[in-house]
Amino acid sequence: MLQPHGQQVLDIIGKYDADQPSTQGILLPEQMPQALHALDAAIVHDEKMRREAIEKAQAEHQPMPQFDPITLHHRALPFMDMVRQCIKDQLPITWGV
């Protein structure tokens, strides 16, 4: 995952602050269910916004909006799988250490 996409995922789970960016962090097992919930909600929102933009363009006979072909869902899925495994194993996720 490239840095901007990683920052987006970290921002969604509350582990990134643009005012004080950090290259190190930890996600504890007890924080992981909420992180998964936040990512699920963000993915639903992202998909809804894409759908609405397409519907609006079609209704107004405008050119189709251009999106990054790799969605938030595709980018976040490997991380979410890792979080689920860490919940199961009761292990933290660390970065930059």
What are the pLDDT digits (tens) for 23-64? Answer: 788 999 999 999 999 999 999 999 999 999 999 999 999 999
How many domains is the chain built from? Answer: 1
Is residue 13 within 8 Å of 38, Cβ to Cβ?
A: yes
Domain around 38: 30-92
Would residue 23 count as lying in a domain?
A: no
Q: According to the model, what pLDDT value does residue 62 have? A: 96
In a domain, 60, yes or no: yes
Residue 24 placed within a domain: no
Does residue 34 belong to any structural domain of this protein?
yes
Does 74 map to a domain? yes
The letter for the amino acid at 77 is L
42 part of a folded domain: yes
Helix (H) or strand (E) holding 3: helix 3-12
**Structural domain contains residue 82:** yes
